[in-house]
């Protein structure tokens, strides 16, 4: 296995706030990593430094061994570091298929715009039976899945998902965990996912990093983290 991402001593300070403090992190290509922690723990800030939306105050980020610390968002996206934001950005008046076509044809020359590729993405994100549906008619969960599909339609290598199940029904949430596991099952795509829903995190069966006050409180399997008294104190107990 090879390393897809490594962060060394990442810190991010806003005026008077240590949003991230000396966060080090590494993950293997083709794996899933969950990040949990209470509100304000620094989870989104961490993801923003990985995607290139925020420059770290100190520290370094390596993608597949290359230092990307000073690389801008667009260049990182071309390397396949793609981020899904919490607010959906699909075109409501266009169909599922059209949204995907735009994503694929849009910016990325390395992406594959052939119908077969688009069909395969639709299947992955559980929208194969709704290619012609207008996005405004999708359920909240389906819109979130389409957003993931839009990332897959480009040449994704590392997906960054910030609270992808927010607002979903229990069924949609469970289906999202299966979907994310399927994405990584051939060990090419990697996923970092921030979530609050503990059942969802358990379903991912992935290592968990716990952030608290901008620092790594602990890291490990779901069970080891869930049974850690410090984690219970700051997060699960709340």
Ligand X SMILES: Nc1ncnc2c1ncn2[C@@H]1O[C@H](COP(=O)(O)OP(=O)(O)O)[C@@H](O)[C@H]1O
Q: Which residues within the stretch 39-68 sit at the binding site for Mg ion (CB under 5 A)?
A: 43-44
- Please identify, using beta-carbon distances, which residue of 42 and 59 lies nearer to Mg ion: 42
To ligand X, the closest distance from the beta carbon of 16 in angstroms equals 9
Is 165 one of the binding residues for Mg ion (CB under 5 A)? no
Of 36-44, 92-100, 136-144, 223-231, the window that binds Mg ion (rule: CB under 5 A) is 36-44
Give the residue among 100, 101, 64 at the shortest CA–CA distance from 80: 64
To ligand X, the closest distance from the beta carbon of 43 in angstroms equals 3
Contact 162, 84 (CB under 8 A): yes
Q: Is 2 exposed, middle or buried, given 0-12, 13-18 or 19+ CB atoms closer than 10 A?
A: exposed
In the 8-state DSSP scheme, what is residue 232?
I
| Coil, helix or strand at residue 59 | strand
To Mg ion, the closest distance from the beta carbon of 44 in angstroms equals 3
17 binds, among Mg ion, ligand X, none (CB under 5 to 8 A by kind): ligand X
Q: Is 86 exposed, middle or buried, given 0-12, 13-18 or 19+ CB atoms closer than 10 A?
A: middle
To Mg ion, the closest distance from the beta carbon of 194 in angstroms equals 6
Residues contributing to the site for Mg ion (CB under 5 A): 43-44
């Amino acid at each position: 296995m090879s390393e897809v991402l490594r962060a060394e001593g990442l810190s991010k300070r806003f005026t008077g706030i240590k949003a991230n403090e000396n966060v080090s992190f590494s993950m293997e290509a083709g794996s899933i990593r969950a990040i949990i922690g209470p509100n304000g723990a620094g989870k989104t800030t961490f993801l923003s430094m990985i995607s290139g939306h925020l420059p770290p105050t100190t520290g370094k980020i390596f993608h597949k061994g290359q230092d990307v610390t000073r690389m801008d968002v667009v260049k990182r996206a071309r390397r396949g570091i793609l981020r899904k934001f919490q607010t959906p950005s699909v075109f409501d008046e266009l169909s599922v298929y059209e949204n995907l076509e735009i994503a694929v044809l849009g910016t990325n020359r390395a992406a594959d715009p052939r119908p077969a590729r688009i069909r395969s993405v639709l299947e992955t994100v559980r929208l194969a039976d709704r290619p012609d549906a207008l996005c405004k008619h999708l359920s909240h969960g389906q819109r979130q899945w389409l957003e993931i599909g839009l990332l897959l339609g480009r040449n994704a290598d590392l997906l960054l998902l910030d609270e992808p199940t927010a607002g979903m029904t229990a069924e949609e949430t469970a289906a999202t965990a299966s979907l994310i596991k399927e994405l990584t099952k051939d060990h090419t795509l990697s996923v970092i996912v921030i979530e609050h829903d503990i059942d969802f995190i358990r379903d991912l069966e992935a290592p968990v990093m716990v952030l608290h006050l901008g620092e790594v409180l602990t890291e490990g399997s779901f069970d080891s983290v869930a049974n850690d008294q410090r984690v219970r104190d700051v997060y699960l107990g709340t």
